[in-house]
Amino acid sequence: MPPENSSSGSGSLSLSEVRPGVWGKYVWVRIQGVGGDARYDLGCVGAARGRSLKGGGFWRLGEDSLVATHLSMGNSPSKSAANATPAAMTGSAAAGSAVSAAVDADEPDDPSGCSGKRHHHHQQQQQQQQKPRSAQRDLSTFDALLADTSSPPPVSRRAGSSTTPSSVSSSVKTVSSSGSSSSGDPPHRPRKSTFVVNEFIKRLMDARYQPVMSKQFCLSSAEIQTICSVAGAVIHNQPVFLELGTPVKVVGDIHGQFGDLMHIFDMCGLPPRSNYLFLGDYVDRGRQSLETMLLLLCLKIKYPENVFLLRGNHECASVTKVYGFYDECKRRCSVKVWKCIVDVFNVLPIAATVGGKIFCVHGGLSPSLSSINDIKQIQRPTDVPDTGLVSDLLWSDPDPDVQTWGDNDRGVSYCFGRPIVERFCRKFGFDLIARGHMVVEEGYEFFSDRRLVTVFSAPNYCGEFSNWGAVMTVSKDLLCSFDLLKSSASQQQK
């Protein structure tokens, strides 16, 4: 156990300035005080300034300006870490970036191709007065995390909007081109006891060129557990109800169709050049749910203010045992890996707004939702209950044959009609509800006079539907457009 304090430098850190995390495996990190030489190895470190975080080994930078230089699973630091050269970050420097540290691996290239059809839907509104964005949550995990300081500003968090709601009108434009990407180097193992997120991203992206049925996974169980521990902390440190700015790309269900997720990045650009809000249902049914979920978690770690992941009804332990993700984890990795990923599911945010005018959720509305504060007060971690607000937000569906609330054919939650959508938008000042949860032929489908849109991003779903996939882009002035994509599998056959 290190001494309680040190006198080596004015920036030395007192042990009383950090608190242990409240749960999770012990992750050992080396830390130092800015301006001083004092270094301590602590287990399951929480946040500076007294706030505990889930999933140890990750904390929030503040005036204390802590910086991590080593991260490994185990009971003690490795000898190799003792010789590691720590990075340093001051409080003023930390305030300007979401994540900052040095890396050994190169950043993956951003493919520039695009394919499919593009449909534009205009949303007219008064000029919004931009509020100054509050200081980002400054996070530092380890020396392998890269901050792309040359990228556009991240999605800002907004408290709301005072603009007048307006209807969505439509015009159509068709474009066509093809995206391409070359295979990178074969996967290789990172240095022991070091969490190199760039390398993990590269290895996961290279998995698109590997046989789909391969049982060998590109990451070890220990590496996956580390990713889940860090990603869980990043996600839990952000609100359960996200308030995002623009521009942002809204992605619907993926369902383990990893090749199609990569096609989306080819078409729309990788973060941080493009900001993303995913509406949930990353796993189950598809053959590569592990690659899909872990790549998104790695991108969330690297770009916490550019990538946002909402929870879907399939991000639930009981559902994954029925629809395939549990079996995939057991076959390709271990049940322990499945449990770690489920822990991340239980802290995912439930809903979001974009520009204060678009309400985003996986499923739909709820009769239990009387105020937006009802969502903000949802406590995490939480499983998905059989009934109630969380269940409805993840499971409910629009139905043109229902006036108010009706039984859902899924056997869970409700169906809601046009009057419910109109009442919700009028009450809370939203122009549009964006949701996933349903396969639709064109990849997107409007409901209730364009007040609600379903976005589904898994083309040729399960190999049984001839549907398109879609990604909705929301521009700075709330112009909504849709990029459509065909299945990556069908393109490879050509």
Alpha-carbon span 482 to 427, nearest angstrom: 27
Place of tokens 């990569």: 262
The contacts of residue 7 (CB under 8 Å, 6+ apart) are: none
CB 462 within 8 A of CB 289: no
Q: What is the predicted pLDDT for the residue at 472?
A: 98
The b/e string for 315-354 (b: 16+ C-beta within 10 A; e otherwise) is: bbbebbeebbbbebbeebbeeebbebbbbbbbbbbbbbbb
| Phi, psi of 118, deg, nearest 5 | -130, 125
In sequence order, which residues have a C-beta less than 8 Å from that of residue 239 and are 6 or more positions away? 349, 376
The continuous run of DSSP H or E covering 490 comes out as: helix 488-493
Calculate the CA 163 to chain-centre distance. 28
| DSSP strand pairing (59-61 vs 138-140) | antiparallel
**For the chain, which residues score pLDDT lower than 50?**
1-116, 121-152, 158-194, 493-494
C-alpha pair distances (Å), 271 with each of 34, 187, 294, 446: 30, 22, 15, 27
The domains located in the chain, with CATH, are: 15-94 (no CATH), 118-137+153-493 (3.60.21.10)
- Side chain identity, residue 322: V
The residue assigned the tokens 């909705």 is 472
Q: What is the pLDDT of residue 488?
A: 63
Strand partners, 469: 485
Residue linked to tokens 């205009």: 122
**3-state SS class at 431:** coil
Per-residue model confidence (pLDDT) at position 195: 65
pLDDT in tens, 251-291: 999 999 999 999 999 999 999 999 999 999 999 999 999 99
Active site residues: 314
The distance of Cα 404 from the centroid of its chain, to the nearest Å, equals 32
What is the phi/psi pair of residue 358, to 5°?
A: -120, 120
Per DSSP bridges, beta strands 67-73 and 27-32 are: antiparallel
Query: For residue 20, how many C-alpha atoms fall within 13 Å in the half-sphere facing its CB?
Result: 11
In this structure, what token pair is assigned to residue 476? 């700075």
- CA–chain centroid gap for 391, Å, is 20
- Helix, strand, coil tally for the chain in percent (to 5): 25, 20, 55
Give the global pTM. 0.66
* One-letter amino acid for residue 203 of the chain: R
